[in-house]
Chains A and B, each alone.
Chain A
Amino acid sequence: MPLEEVTPRIRTFISESFLDGDPGGELTESTPLLEWEVLNSMNSALLLNFLREELRVDVPLSSITAANFRDIAAISKLVSSLMTVPAEGV
């Protein structure tokens, strides 16, 4: 899946799951998700689950870093790069 398709899906998931739908439309690709505590331990686990179930991407432990999860742009880039490696069952 190309980056331009990955990004909106991740944005929609974060907005609907953690930001009450983001009624003000403030969420951008560079919103600092870790710094603003949008991704805490529970939410990051839910996001990883979404990536696994919906986008068929299993993020390896070594890639679960603050740099890779700091904002939507970084997460999308990571997910896209992992998608280029064919995952089982895809």
Chain B
Amino acid sequence: MSLHQLVIDAAARRPDALAASGPAGSLTYGELDAAADAIAATLGRQGVRRGDRVVVWAAKSPETVAAMQAVLRLGAAYVPVDGGSPVARVAAIARDCAARVVVTDRARIPRISGELGPDVRCEELDAPRDPAPAVHVATAPDDLAYILYTSGSTGAPKGVCLTHENARAFVDWAHDLLMPGEDDRFANHAPFAFDLSVLDLYVAFRAGASVHLIPPELSFAPARLVEFLHAERISIWYSVPSALAVMMRYGGLLDRPAPQTLHTVLFAGEPFPIAGLRDLAGWTGARMMNLYGPTETNVCTFHEVTKVDLERDRPVPIGIAASGDRVWALRDGGGIAASGEVGELVVDGPTVMPGYWGHPPQRGPYHTGDLVRVLPDGAFDYLGRRDQMVKIRGHRVELGEVEAILENHVDVAEAAAVAVGEGADTRLVAFVAPRSGRDLGVLAVRRHLVAHLPRYMVADEVRIVSPLPRNGNGKIDRLALKACADGVERTVHEPGS
């Protein structure tokens, strides 16, 4: 069954119930259904057909959700891009996936329209629209539902393609696990371009429950995020552990009693440091679960936190297979890892993507690049990455992509990015060496990063160093840079010094 059928069914069942609520308004299921049809009619007139791609670049709002529904109803795939992403990145994504239309707020149209090819149209998200008859284009399970762009190691973002079948396998599994009721109130913390949002939106819709969109501008103010949790009477919370850690540390989360409504806390994207999880468990009696899975597979393992887990001295396991997938650990020399052994986690099953947009199809099991240890009960402990990819507040970041953008700056001779710290304290630090004779300031570099990268990839700290330190092989000495960024050694030694 298709992903968009969930809203159609909920609208038939409970048209007057709240579907989605945002800072500037809310939509009932009936209104969401009607808005999706009205936008679909406009997009249909713009030429959107089954199999096309439509970029949705807008701030989080119920209308943005309606636009995503509209694209699905036409049999096309939506490509969500965070409202805070720079024009250059939106244009690059629209080009890469050969989008037919970019749906965006009126204020953004003049900024993007000149950057798109002549065949790409812009559609105003907030335009007044007449009611339109229901649009239902038949879709097949292997039709693409959405494409999520993630950081790519080659310096360009890459589009992870997910089908209706991929999405429904996960959504139906998560629904059966959580068994939400119609009165449940889901918080949506993640941007729509981040796969965590798929649970918030579609599991809520499957249950006929409501989803409460957290505006991104609250992310700089942890105390207001805590206020949101109470004021919106959230019952199911899902976020990266970093968000909860920041709310505990800087937002005063633990200073007030947990809201009575909160019964489930889900987290994913990175290990939750055990001390923080203990604090959270001491604050709320809510059921807590660790969900694991790269964007390419959605959630493929899960683990429900127990009292015994909280007594361990390391993060809780990522658990056992989820969403109907099969998972196993592959030893370095080949062969399936046994209890106590370490291997790379491999996933096969209904949630595994058909491939990256514009790349050869993904055939067979997906190799995650994540190292795990097999536990005696068959569950897995997450150990780390095989490659250079790092996680910053749950978002994957290829350091090579950040470095490529830094080196595009006209005044930059060379650059390196390193990640330091652990868990919620992981920071991305960029070291930049200016071209000789050029003045280069920290803010100029920061402005350049913001103009080309999504927010989560912008370095937390920028340091100007000239030249970058080198090791004996002449390569950039990343260990020295990490030590410097970590504050172990504040001065980077220059070669020969």
Contacts and interface: CB of A to CB of B under 8 A. Distances in A.
Interface of A: 18-20, 22-27, 31, 34-42, 44-45, 61, 64-66, 69
A26 B219 contact: no
A61 B227 contact: yes
B455 A24 contact: no
Given A22-B442, A61-B224, 16 more contacts: A18-B461, A20-B464, A23-B441, A24-B442, A24-B464, A35-B450, A36-B446, A36-B450, A39-B220, A41-B219, A41-B222, A41-B246, A45-B251, A61-B227, A64-B223, A65-B221
A34 B222 CA distance: 14
B220 A38 contact: no
A25 B460 CA distance: 19
B245 to A, nearest CB: 10
Contacts of B455: 37
Interface of B: 217, 219-224, 227, 246, 249-251, 439-444, 446-447, 449-450, 455, 458, 460-464
B443 A69 contact: no
Given A20-B462, A36-B447, A44 B442 contact: no
Contacts of B447: 36
Nearest to A15: B442
Nearest to A66: B217
B446 A37 contact: yes
A27 B443 contact: yes
B458 A22 contact: no
A31 B443 contact: yes
B217, B246, B443, B455 — most chain A CB neighbours (10 Å): B443
Contact of A45 (B217, B222, B446, B461): B222
Contacts of B449: 37
A26 B447 CA distance: 11
A15 to B, nearest CB: 9
A40 B443 contact: no
Contacts of A69: 220-221
B444 A42 contact: no
Contact of A24 (B219, B441, B458, B460): B441
Contact of A26 (B220, B444, B463): B444
A24 B440 contact: yes
A34 B220 contact: yes
A64 B221 contact: yes
Nearest to A25: B441
Given A19-B442, A36-B443, A36-B450, A41 B220 contact: yes
B464 A23 contact: yes
B411 to A, nearest CB: 11
A64 B249 contact: no
A62 B332 CA distance: 54
B250 A41 contact: yes
A19 B443 contact: yes
Top 5 A-B pairs, shortest CB-CB distance = A24-B441, A45-B250, A26-B443, A26-B441, A64-B221
Contacts of B450: 35-37
Contacts of A23: 441-442, 464
Given A20-B461, A20-B463, A23-B464, A41 B443 contact: no
B220 A24 contact: no
Nearest to B443: A26
Contacts of B462: 19-20
A42 B224 CA distance: 13
A51 to B, nearest CB: 13
